[in-house]
Amino acid sequence: MNKGRILTISLSVCDAAVSRHLCLIDPAKDIDKLLDGLILATEATDPDWVPIMTRAAVSSRIMAGVLRMLLSSVPAIVGTGNSTYVLYTSQGVTVSCAVGDKGFVYEGISTFSTQTVDLTGLREVKTKVMLNLANPASAYRWWRLPEDGIGLARMEFVVANAVQVHPAPAYFVDKLSHSFAALCATFYPKPAIIRMSDFKINEYANLIGGVEFEPKEENPILGFRGASRYYSPHYKVGFELECRAIQRLREEMGFGNAVIMTPFCRNTGEAKKVAEVMAEYGLKRGENGFGLYVMYQILSNVIMANEFTEHFNNFSIGSNVLTQLTLSVDRDSGQLEDLFNEQDEAVKWMMARMIAVARRKDCKIGICGQAPSNHPEFAKFLVEAGINSISVSPDSFVAVEKHMVANERACCFLAKLPYDLRYVLSSVMYYTSSPP
């Protein structure tokens, strides 16, 4: 959708969008002025408005029309506080309630398209397809998808979207736990894998109050991030707040489907330190069903894959960072963008190695990234290698699910085998292709 500048934002009702001319009506006695198909803007609604609710999209200053709009399935934005001041009759606007719990009114008539997807043709596949979600506000949009849970919820994205401040005790714990509760509740009892914070140091500094706490670094992608922050005196207090939020989420709110993942863990020494700090803050591996994932992103994760299985229950491949570090390519560099390729044979070798070790150790292993949705042949490679799950953005889910169905319907010998036998053959292929 092409969008003009934002005129007002508030709580959205119903998952839809509309682009029309606007009719501003203040007292209810003037409702006869509304023509069918126009967007209605008004200060408040009451039962007198019911007859015209199905004739318009509504932007209201107060909450009075929510239930009526839900019942009539009309998109609405309520509680703006300023709509009757910034909007005017005959003005062309676009009302969008299609991006979560926030509704937007944009200036101008926009063009957009909608697509109806028939999910009945999708069938259950052996390889689980999960969702990457970052914004709790958008979680409720995707509950209809026949997904297998949340494969990646990045804590730093939730902090940036919902919390927006550098860790500070009461507010941070309360806001973070409630934000993740929205994600876990939407897909309960399916697992919701939450990756603990992996802000790079410059990104932490951009949060409210962050510049006072964070030093400057020349190369943030390889700097003070991920697991190294969690046990460091510089951030240990902040990590305690993250752990307290997860503890509240799991134990007080009852979302035992919340699963925790450690990112950018450079060696097994860091793995031990992180586990010790988490246990100190009430998250002990093996207690109350609490298990730990680690994100395989670093070459040391691949080389020491066997050793990492002793410290973590399950694994997820972070293909973007793994590709950058394997090929020594910055994906944000315009001069090198052609070299960034998750399907490079060296990167696929790394992934096959990790999958083989995880299967041998009876650990689950998944992958987070867009490559399986953009490249069916890459999804096929992952299935044949024995991947347990693939996690993608919600708008790619149907395409990936269809790829999985096609792969498992095809006459692919490995895809039809049980996982244990598939692992044996994958291992043979891995070891015969291993460099000397």
Query: What pLDDT digit, counting tens, does each position of 203-228 carry?
Result: 555 555 555 555 666 666 777 888 99
Look at residue 69 in the predicted model and tell me its pLDDT: 47
Q: Find the CATH number of the domain harbouring 264.
A: 3.20.20.60
Are residues 368 and 315 part of one domain? yes
Look at residue 367 in the predicted model and tell me its pLDDT: 93
Are residues 327 and 272 part of one domain? yes
**Local confidence band at 421 (pLDDT 50, 70, 90 cut-offs):** low
Q: What percent of the chain has pLDDT over 90?
A: 32
For residue 112, being part of any structural domain is answered with no
Distance separating alpha carbons of residues 26 and 189, to the nearest angstrom: 46
Are residues 386 and 304 part of one domain? yes
Cβ atoms of 403 and 379 closer than 8 Å:
yes
Q: Find the CATH number of the domain harbouring 46.
A: 3.50.30.10
DSSP 214: P
Look at residue 217 in the predicted model and tell me its pLDDT: 61
Look at residue 240 in the predicted model and tell me its pLDDT: 92
**What's CA 146's distance to the chain center, in Å?**
16
Count the Cβ atoms, other than its own, within 10 Å of residue 258. 24
Look at residue 234 in the predicted model and tell me its pLDDT: 84
Helix axes 419-432, 345-360, angle to 10 degrees: 130
Distance separating alpha carbons of residues 126 and 403, to the nearest angstrom: 12
**Local confidence band at 101 (pLDDT 50, 70, 90 cut-offs):** low
Distance separating alpha carbons of residues 246 and 255, to the nearest angstrom: 9
Are residues 147 and 23 part of one domain? no
Are residues 183 and 70 part of one domain? no
Tokens representing 375 are 């490249």
AA letter at 36 = D
Distance separating alpha carbons of residues 84 and 313, to the nearest angstrom: 55
Nearest to 61 by CA among 76, 51, 74: 76
| Of the listed ranges 77-91, 130-144, 207-221, 270-284, the one predicted with least confidence | 207-221
For residue 274, being part of any structural domain is answered with yes
pLDDT digits 0-9 by tens, 172-198: 888 889 889 989 998 999 999 999 988
pLDDT digits 0-9 by tens, 279-304: 999 999 988 889 899 999 999 999 99
Look at residue 117 in the predicted model and tell me its pLDDT: 73
Are residues 216 and 77 part of one domain? no
> In terms of residue numbers, what domain contains 21?
6-107
Are residues 146 and 83 part of one domain? no
DSSP 50: G
**Local confidence band at 35 (pLDDT 50, 70, 90 cut-offs):** confident
Supply the mean pLDDT for the chain. 79
Are residues 152 and 40 part of one domain? no
For residue 136, being part of any structural domain is answered with yes
For residue 242, being part of any structural domain is answered with yes
Are residues 184 and 69 part of one domain? no
Q: How many domains does the chain have?
A: 2
Task: Choose between 83 and 183: higher pLDDT.
Answer: 183
Pairing of strands 39-42, 17-24: parallel
For residue 113, being part of any structural domain is answered with no
Are residues 203 and 144 part of one domain? yes
For residue 363, being part of any structural domain is answered with yes
Residue whose pair of structure tokens reads 């803050």 in the numeric block: 281
For residue 11, being part of any structural domain is answered with yes
Are residues 158 and 63 part of one domain? no
Task: Choose between 200 and 331: higher pLDDT.
Answer: 331
Look at residue 70 in the predicted model and tell me its pLDDT: 42
Decide if pLDDT at 407 tops 80: no
Are residues 319 and 284 part of one domain? yes
Which domain-ending residue is among 107, 137, 159?
107
Distance separating alpha carbons of residues 365 and 222, to the nearest angstrom: 24
Cβ atoms of 125 and 388 closer than 8 Å:
no
For residue 123, being part of any structural domain is answered with no
Which domain-ending residue is among 40, 72, 107?
107
Q: How many residues are recorded in the chain?
A: 436
**CA atoms 41, 47, 52, 56: torsion sign:** positive
Look at residue 145 in the predicted model and tell me its pLDDT: 84
Distance separating alpha carbons of residues 146 and 352, to the nearest angstrom: 27
